[in-house]
Amino acid sequence: MVWWSSPLSRTPLCSAAHQTIKKCCIAIVATTDHTNRSVHQHPASSTPPLTPLLHSAGDRDPRAKPRSDGTSDLAHERPNTRPQGLSQLVPMAATGGADSEVHFDFFPLVRQYKSGRVERFMNFPPIPAGVDPATGVASKDVVIDPANGLWARVFLPPGGHDGSKLPVLVYFHGGAYVIGSASDPMTHNYLNGLVAAANVVAVALEYRLAPEHPLPAAYDDSWEGLKWVASHATAAAADGAEPWLADRGDFSRVFLAGGSAGGTIAHVMAVRAGEQQGALPGFGIRGTIVVHPYFSGAAAIGKEAAGGSAARIAGDRVLVCVAEKDGLRDRGVWYYESLKASGYAGEVELLESVGEDHVFYCMKPRSERAIELQDRILGFLRK
């Protein structure tokens, strides 16, 4: 049995949280068949659909740039898919009673009170979709399911369309399952650079966050998003499909990727895809990139996962990336070793970034080790 919990790594971004690693407040159990249950007071089944909140004209970002094709930028037209309870971005003064009694404290990321009120302390202004002036990469937001508030940001590399199709990269953002977004600066800027260098079409999927929506909500949302991406393998833009995917994506060359919690989501999606192949017709997953995965816990490691569902991961290659100073490094290496011992028939690679910490490449994208990491990922995508 593998425990997945939510410790914080010792990063420049989260250095104040180093001493809270043992105060993990959101934990799930992942069994070998990847059925998940929450172990805090919110039942895993309590994952109601989001209620989209419409933007007003004042919500438009004045920095938004119109796209060259004259269509609207959905970054500023789409419904606000932030889960209910997340609108309180600035901590409020305690009002006494249940609204001041802490249910659990995951500072400096999130704190929840017994009243249900949630405070998030690391709030990154979303970057609007559009054309990135540094890379020429274009992006736009697409609503997948208005009833559930699911959406995605699609990235297209620069250059004209000569009729050839490009590999498809499906990306899951990190944030300990409690913060982060497909539109946050880390995800947006990272994918702009990667899409330009790799010449791929990328899709960053949004998912609901804990504690309002405990696991497996993030996995269920990601799976619905993945099925939406896969639907473009057999759909045409003329039939209402997203044209950047239907016209430009090569669905025989699909890769899953993510960092931190997103790396764990990428693993779970690869397992589900391997177990439910009929759910993704025409969707050829070539490999999975798991960067600084968010596996942790107190249970013994070693060969505990060997022979489980990991052997059924879709695709024939997995790249596992860890950082030497990351508190999650040993679990990442354990994942790599367990996958190799699981009976998985594909190739498993490991890259360790010496001297670096958790998701360092987001804070130091031009550093020597970040360039080394990107080169390894580019090589993996080009095989």
pLDDT at 25 over 60: no
CA separation for the pair 69, 61 (Å, rounded) = 19
* DSSP class of 9: -
Q: Which of 34, 188, 213, 358 is catalytic?
A: 358
Claim: this prediction has a pTM higher than 0.75? yes
pLDDT tens track for 325-383: 999 999 999 999 999 999 999 999 999 999 999 999 999 999 999 999 999 999 999 99
38 a catalytic residue: no
pLDDT tens track for 142-169: 999 988 889 999 999 998 888 899 999 9
Contact 54, 79 (CB under 8 A): yes
pLDDT at 149: 85
CA separation for the pair 29, 43 (Å, rounded) = 13
61 a catalytic residue: no
Q: Which of 260, 309, 342, 353 is catalytic?
A: 260
232 a catalytic residue: no
CA separation for the pair 157, 192 (Å, rounded) = 8
Q: For residue 265, give both structure tokens.
A: 């989501």
The number of beta carbons lying within 10 Å of the beta carbon of residue 298 is 9
DSSP state letters, 33-51? T--EEE-SSS-TT--PPP-
Contact 143, 79 (CB under 8 A): yes
pLDDT at 350: 99
pLDDT at 96: 58
Complete domains list, the chain, with CATH: 2-58+124-382 (3.40.50.1820)
Contact 5, 27 (CB under 8 A): yes
Q: Which of 73, 141, 221, 326 is catalytic?
A: 326
Q: For residue 333, give both structure tokens.
A: 């290496």
What are the residue ranges of helices labelled H in the chain? 185-198, 217-231, 243-246, 261-275, 329-341, 360-363, 368-382
N-term to C-term CA, the chain: 34
Q: What share of the chain is helix, strand, coil (3-state, %, to 5)?
A: 25, 20, 50
